Structure 1
């Protein structure tokens, strides 16, 4: 609720809160209710929250439902439904979880009502999940592309932008470069609302000049220059210093999200001389079995090829927040599996690149 957030952050919060409270502003009532709750005055919290609910607040309906979920799931179900009708998006998740957690009799509804409610709310929750995944995870991932002499882009694979120790890198799998028989100096990064490509300042791979490498060193990165803070520049880099976890923290069966650009025929716009984005977000479960040095993800049947997903970032959610946990290096469509390397290998490679850049900077 923007109004509620503005009240909490405003330096004149107390005066404005009193003014809005006396005017019956639902956001102000909610802020006041939270203050009362923090002081242990639960009866006063309920009265104020109910007043905000009575004025049509979806946030109040959500917070009341969340409070009653364990003690009175029947009332929680009704309140979550009210919150959804009033436009509260988070209630979509909560009502589905509530319906799955309790039998119909515990929720005070018939079996057919229980089934009908799940059929109604699951698609709403799935729609929101897909929207959040694309908003959060896809921005910052790009197809690997090189520019040939005729100006027509080509290449295969995926790279993603990360920020690490005050440096920014575009990271991919090294085999995306070698398989294309490409010169990494010809790689291009195109972002919306920017004239011309973002410059690459140099490149690095932990495998050096070796031709045959193991999966854990199948990493290639460019140092990215030309960073801009403009609001709508189309630029975004994953903050690795805050948002990564080692794959050792994953558990079998955990939901995994893999972002990539499949190599489909429609990906090249020859007239516009550009690669059209056809991004794929693969959702699956972390598998028990894996190949040496790799982690496996069991996925649903793929609608398109997974060729080109190599080099794509891999994410998992912890306590409602997405964390980078690895990089895809191969996929087998027939087996419905994608394999990825642990994020720790990517971190180690970036540390090596930062150290190398520091040495170069000290010897101009």
Structure 2
């Protein structure tokens, strides 16, 4: 075999299919912890994503079948659905998914041209517009309460009907990030907060969910869909920042394990920040991008007005990607790198 030796990149459909497969372990754990509601949300998000994708392709005069079959719309739909409360009303999922596909993806030119991560755009629109609905997470199996089957979950998601004799508080619970932030504002110590039922029961479920996302992420690494730079830099930087604050005041700032296992840290590291379109292309750029996003995530979680900061951190760093790429590209032979000054 003679030169040149060219390695053909995998198809978009093949890459997206691997991402969907990698999410399956987390979906299974999600169902085990919170019931079948997440499967209903995934179905709603998938249907809306495909319909919106087809409509936008028609309006733009692009062929529908090739783009609809590349599975990119389904990846956006699944990532958004997994970021939302699994008992959220169906219209919330539909609005967020439609906005993500129509505005964040197609108004920027479609696949490969979007500046921002579409799933995180949809999430931020929903958390800003409908904060009350976005904080009604289902109570995990570790807490007492009625178990929702398919029929009960569907009745609640589509019609808002509660099971007989059940109150909304019995079905939903605040996330640990919410609990810690609210209780710290009430001048309670972290030891007191984590000793109460909500603060102590939910971590077990969060750990399993984080491990499931990590397993999927390792599969993507093994398949060479992503590289190690973003997940390692993000999780390491988040742990370091959390560790520094925890060392300074352990009664007010949770340790690294808390921030790594709660919220969207692991799914963010392996599935969201690794988006090849809205992220950097250089190895150094990926490290800088991920570490900066981790610092922003922590600052928003601890000092901001929202319980989790992953989505906002991703969108803020998406805006910096062109600058990061410009200053981390290896110089072309015979030319000086940007900002170095002097003649080539």
- Which TM bucket (shorter chain)? under 0.3
Q: Which has the larger radius of gyration?
A: 1
Tell me which protein shows more helix as a share of its residues: 2
Task: Give the TM-score of the pair, scaled to structure 2.
Answer: 0.24
